[in-house]
Structure 1
Amino acid sequence: MKKQIDDIEDIKIFVDEFYAKVRTDQLIGPIFMEKISDWRPHLDKMYTFWNAALFGVPGFRGNPFAKHAPLKIARPHFERWLELFYATIDEYFEGAIADDAKKRAALMADMFLSRLQQLNGNSDHVIF
């Protein structure tokens, strides 16, 4: 049965399940697996990120775009990332916070893709 995202424990569920999907995905899995050898720090950072994004809990520090800028990623990678993210949220959760998480993920993907395209001389902007 689906539930609402209420707290950090729910965030841990969707982050853990999402990255389990990512690690085995044929398109984006190899990119993540090449860059992340120890998943615990990455998962902990994602718990903090989503706790800040969804509930305003302070504690996240970092520059997510800077970590992604050097990667060889393009629109299909972002589309797959979003597809896996949405599927994970929809599999476990419902309600306003779940919808907000999906909206924020789409905005983040759009912003990252736009910035990467600008860095590469392509200003083609798309909204997911």
Structure 2
Amino acid sequence: MKDIADLISIQVLVDDFYTEVRKDAMLGPVFSAVIKGDWQPHLRQMYDFWNAALFGVPGFRGNPFIKHVPLPISASHFNRWLELFSQAIDRHFEGEVAEDAKKRAGLMAVMFQTKLQAARDVSKIVF
């Protein structure tokens, strides 16, 4: 197996990962409630996101955190997301960039969970 090397590698990873997400009993319903029909816009966004995250290629626009705030997700969802993401990487790639992608995904999951909890805690404050 080769390492994640370029946009083509990222497309393979993202496509495989989201194929598994759609079939997953825990994550599938969360995504299908938001993404109706055409997955291509979301997939293109993820290609750009991971291309920027792993290779510093400009092109990603958006605020992923804001889109996750209203979702009914918890730590178990993030754990499952990480599990499927790592499995997708391991099915296709090995090497330094592949390991970096797993590490970055783990850091993002922790950051998102922390920010989501803070946002939910603030929303409970009565002024």
TM range (shorter): over 0.9
- 1 CA distance for matches of 2:68 and 2:30? 10
**Alpha-carbon shift at residue 118 of structure 1 (Å):** 1.2
Partner of 1:32: 31
Structure 1 runs of 4+ off > 3 angstroms? Answer: none
Any idea what SS the aligned residue of 1:23 has? helix
Partner of 1:51: 51
Letter paired with 1:93:
F
TM-score if structure 1 supplies the norm length? 0.92
Any idea what SS the aligned residue of 1:70 has? coil
**Alpha-carbon shift at residue 120 of structure 1 (Å):** 2.0
Unaligned runs of 5+ in 2: 123-127
Task: State which structure, 1 or 2, has the greater radius of gyration over its C-alpha atoms.
Answer: 2
Number of residue pairs aligned between Structure 1 and Structure 2: 121
Partner of 1:71: 71
Q: Is structure 2 residue 18 aligned with structure 1 residue 15?
A: no
Letter paired with 2:26:
L
Partner of 1:125: none
Q: Tell me how large the CA RMSD over aligned residues is.
A: 1.0
**Alpha-carbon shift at residue 9 of structure 1 (Å):** 0.2
- 1 CA distance for matches of 2:67 and 2:118? 16
TM-score if structure 2 supplies the norm length? 0.93
Any idea what SS the aligned residue of 2:104 has? helix
Partner of 2:4: 5
- Please give the residue correspondences for 1:77-92 in structure 2 after superposition, counting only pairs within 5 Å: 77-92=77-92
**Alpha-carbon shift at residue 121 of structure 1 (Å):** 2.2
Letter paired with 1:87:
Q
Any idea what SS the aligned residue of 1:121 has? helix
Identity of aligned pairs, percent? 59
- 2 CA distance for matches of 1:9 and 1:120? 37
- 1 CA distance for matches of 2:42 and 2:104? 19
